[in-house]
Every structure is written in C-alpha cells, then in structure tokens.
Amino acid sequence: MKIEIESRHLSDGVVVLKPEVFKDERGFFMETFREDIFTDLGLPYNFVQHNHSGSVKNVVRGLHFQWEPGMGKLMRVTVGSAFLVAVDLRKGSPTFGKWYGREVNTDNRLMIFAPPSFARGFAVLSDYAEIQYVCTGIYNNKGESGIRWNDPAIGVEWPVKEPILSKKDETAQLLSEWEARPESDHFKF
C-alpha cells in the first residue's frame, strides 16, 4: 500500500496526496492514513479530531481556520464531488492571500492537506457530497474564525454560480481585517 504526494502548492504548504486504490468487481480498498508513510513524507500525523460533512449542490462552506489550537486538515470527498480550497494566511509568505483549489471526487480519490496556517473551504459540485477531514487540533470556538468566501483580495474562482451559504460565512471578515488582528500573528512563514 502506498500514499504518494501528487503535488505541492502555495510555498509547499498545501499538499495533494494520491492514495493507491485497489479495485475489483466487489468495489475498492485504499488506505487514507498511515503514520509511517506520513512520517516519511514529512507530513503531520497527530490527528486528534475527525469530522464528516454532508451538503447539497452549490453549498459553499468556508473559508475557515483555527489558531488556538492550530488546526491543520486532511480533507477528502467520500461521496460525490467538491471543489476543495486552501488559502495561505502565513504572514511573510510569498503566497500570502493566494489560494489553491482542486476538484476532488470519488473517482480521483485525492486528499488535500493544508496546515493550521491556511483557511479551508469547499463548494459542492454534485447533487450531494460528503467531505471527511481529520484535524491536527481540537475545535475551539474561541480560537477560530473565517475569511469571507468571496473576498476580492483573494479572488477564489468558485465553480458555482449561486452559492448556498450560512449566515456566518456570508458575513465573515475580509483578509485585510484578519491581517490587522493580533491573532493573525499566530501564522507566520
């Protein structure tokens, strides 16, 4: 069994992983995590929380992040198709405020890891999708925040025309507002 790095993005902060998938007439099998492989790839493996989200077509969730404790996420789509996004929030990074997005689905079975210093989000492309993500930090509502999904300073090219948003995501702060907050100093390049 193997999991390999397919590509790296945003000053190597975002890593796209491609697991080996074994298929036959019964279905498929794949490993989504192995401590020894993650260690060899130089990726964190101290996952402490596992989340599972289901959403209908055109739902956009994000861009979310947590600084206390820092929360990296290894995301994958287990049902349907979604456009996964990560935005670099590391002050001093040459890719600060830049984004990376990729369609992930049950055909390509890719996984995307973004460390705690990145905001993450997704848009559902299929009629329904389920996204699972394991996190390197436990959720803390006092140490989490978000950046507005359509902040023009970031310019994510979301592949949905009429997004369905939560009130929280609709009214999230802009990148410039986050950058002015003292908490933003938790994320340095």
Q: Which of 9, 64, 100, 186 is catalytic?
A: 64
Beta strands in the chain (DSSP E): 3-9, 14-19, 21-24, 27-30, 49-56, 60-66, 73-79, 81-88, 99-105, 111-114, 118-124, 128-135, 144-146
3-state secondary structure of 129: strand
Instruction: Give CA–CA dist 108/28, Å, rounded.
Output: 12
Residue among 50, 52, 100, 133 flagged as catalytic: 133
Is 186 designated active site? Answer: no
Q: How far apart are CA 52 and CA 134, in angstroms?
A: 9
Q: Is 133 a catalytic residue?
A: yes
List the strands of the sheet with 118-124, edge to edge: 99-105, 81-88, 118-124, 60-66, 144-146
**Catalytic positions, please?**
64, 133
